[in-house]
Amino acid sequence: MPDLQTQRRIASILSAYDDLIENNTRRIAILEEMARRIYEEWFVRFRFPGHEQVKMVESELGLIPEGWKLRRLGDVVELAYGKALKAEERKPGPYPVYGSSGVVGSHDTSLVNGPGIIVGRKGNVGSVHWCDVSFYPIDTVYFVRTELPLHYVFFNLKRQNFINNDAAVPGLNRNQAYSLHFLVPSKVVLGRFVELCGPIFKQLRLLAVKNANLRVTRDLLLPKLISGELDVSTLSEPTV
């Protein structure tokens, strides 16, 4: 057991890492909220830049901006099946493995080039995840193929009303999903949305990587600090 002064110095070092992680986590939450609110302002409330000059026309969803197209989800998005990959078959690597609850491990090869969108098929039905890097979606999820900007599709899918099928194990009814309405805005508005949200998503990725590195470094430091392998005697004792 280190003496009290050493314990305080060790706690101060580890607390600094925890504070950085917490600060980055708050920034991530703020950025995610910013992107979501921009989407809702532009594509739900239709208060996008220049909306004052755009006529509203009737559609099955009610009034939508003139020039925007109302499609079915299956017309513009393909929900492609992931591939089975048992935990014992995974080889640790740089590519995240996605299940319906999110990242469930890593692998040394990817199945889909990133960035990409993952949709829960079994288990957490209809969950929607974003991945900036190439990834491996397992057979409990779909991954998205589309010609539309992924940033827009991501937020659209998060607002869709996906339902389970009637099987014993809950699963996403893909035919029902394909029949849902999908609003396709004008190319100009979509382009401006990508220009605005692209940097936000990039910053989110950078902060997530920073937090992952901070956690790894903190966990590596902990046993070395506790065992005395790293000398902290020269550090000033924290005042609090």
Q: 168 or 110: which carries more pLDDT confidence?
A: 110
**51, pLDDT greater than 70:** yes
How many structural domains comprise the chain? 2
My answer on whether 175 and 200 are in the same domain is no
How deeply is 155 buried, as exposed, middle or buried, from its count of CB atoms within 10 A (0-12, 13-18, 19+)?
buried
My answer on whether 55 and 98 are in the same domain is no
My answer on whether 108 and 136 are in the same domain is yes
Q: 167 or 97: which carries more pLDDT confidence?
A: 97
What's residue 164's pLDDT? 74
My answer on whether 114 and 162 are in the same domain is yes
What's residue 48's pLDDT? 96
CA–CA distance, 124 with 145 (Å, rounded to integer): 20
Sign, CA torsion 194/197/203/206: negative
What's residue 168's pLDDT? 60
What's residue 97's pLDDT? 96
Q: What is the pLDDT of residues 144-197, one digit of tens each?
A: 999 999 999 999 999 998 877 656 667 888 998 999 999 999 999 999 999 999
Q: 201 is in which domain, residue-wise? A: 1-67+185-240
| pLDDT band, residue 5 (cuts 50/70/90) | confident
CATH at 61: 1.10.287.1120
My answer on whether 4 and 63 are in the same domain is yes
Sequence-separated (6 or more) residues with CB below 8 Å from residue 229? 223
User: For residue 214, what is the enclosing H or E element?
Assistant: helix 187-227
Angle between helices 4-43 and 150-158 (to 10 degrees): 90
My answer on whether 142 and 51 are in the same domain is no
Share of the chain above pLDDT 70, in %: 92
CATH at 155: 3.90.220.20
Secondary structure of residue 146 in the 3-state scheme = strand
Mean pLDDT across 22-33: 95
Q: What is the pLDDT of residues 59-79, one digit of tens each?
A: 998 999 999 999 999 999 999
My answer on whether 125 and 95 are in the same domain is yes
My answer on whether 2 and 104 are in the same domain is no
Model pTM score: 0.85
Choose the final residue of a domain: 139, 168, 183: 183
